[in-house]
Amino acid sequence: MAEESGAVVSGAVEEDEPMEETTGPVKKPVSAFLHYCAEQRPAVKLTMPNAGAGEITKAISESWRGLSDEEKQKFVDLATADKDRYERERKTDKADKKALEPHETVIPIARVKKIVKLDPEVKSVSKEATAVIAKMTELFVGRLAKETHVASTAATPWATLNMWLRC
């Protein structure tokens, strides 16, 4: 630890500092019971120092069942607020995920180029050709997936046979 003008500075983050935004998936909402567990767990651990996680959870669960509806309301409100947060974040997350432009591909271009170069007859491949191959592969796989879904949900096996004969 370092000292500056008599004050001790540690590496701990102060609670007033805003947390950095995460770019991962949206965190799911927590139930009223789990909010209660998070609040009660430290106190129960102190009263039962040698108990395992299962025993602690069982004790918390029994105390949760003993609470009145008025006492549970605080945690229900927290869960409702958390659910609202989840819905808001999910909507903004979906809005942030834009659809691909017509010229963009999901398949990595570099990987397509490597696969094409595995053919001994191919000396080099232009960027445009690689992009076209990637896009056509993507379209082919998409169509194959759709037709496979149709075939798998068909009422009769003959419908599947007819679908493959049309291709």
Over residues 114-147, the pLDDT tens digits come to 999 999 998 889 999 999 999 999 999 989 998 8
Residue-number span of the structural domain to which 84 is assigned: 27-96
Quick one: what percent of the chain has pLDDT higher than 90? 47
How far apart CA 152 and CA 132 sit, in angstroms, is 30
Please tell me the predicted confidence (pLDDT) of residue 159: 65
Q: How confident is the model at residue 99 (pLDDT cuts 50, 70, 90)?
A: low
> How many other β-carbons are positioned within 10 Å of the β-carbon of residue 101?
7
Encode pLDDT of 41-94 as tens digits.
999 999 998 989 999 999 999 999 999 999 999 999 999 999 999 999 888 877
87 and 139, same domain (yes or no) = no
* Segment among 23-27, 35-39, 129-133 with least mean pLDDT: 23-27
The residues facing 8 across adjacent strands are 3
Q: Is 17 part of any domain?
A: no
35 and 92, same domain (yes or no) = yes
Q: Is 127 part of any domain?
A: yes
59 and 117, same domain (yes or no) = no
Domain closes at, from 74, 96, 118: 96
Specify the 3-state DSSP secondary structure of 86. helix
86 and 116, same domain (yes or no) = no
> Across all residues in the chain, what is the average pLDDT?
81
* Segment among 5-9, 18-22, 57-61 with least mean pLDDT: 5-9
Q: Is 16 part of any domain?
A: no
Q: How many domains does the chain have?
A: 2
DSSP alpha helix (H) spans, 48-108: 53-66, 69-96
Q: How confident is the model at residue 7 (pLDDT cuts 50, 70, 90)?
A: very low
Q: Is 103 part of any domain?
A: no
DSSP alpha helix (H) spans, the chain: 32-47, 53-66, 69-96, 109-117, 127-152, 157-166
> How many other β-carbons are positioned within 10 Å of the β-carbon of residue 147?
15
Residues listed for the chain: 167
Q: How confident is the model at residue 100 (pLDDT cuts 50, 70, 90)?
A: low
Domain closes at, from 49, 68, 96: 96
For the domain that residue 54 is a member of, what is the CATH number?
1.10.30.10
Mean pLDDT, rounded, for 105-114: 88
48 and 80, same domain (yes or no) = yes
Please tell me the predicted confidence (pLDDT) of residue 32: 93
134 and 161, same domain (yes or no) = yes
43 and 90, same domain (yes or no) = yes
Highest mean pLDDT among 32-46, 87-101, 144-158: 32-46
How far apart CA 60 and CA 63 sit, in angstroms, is 5
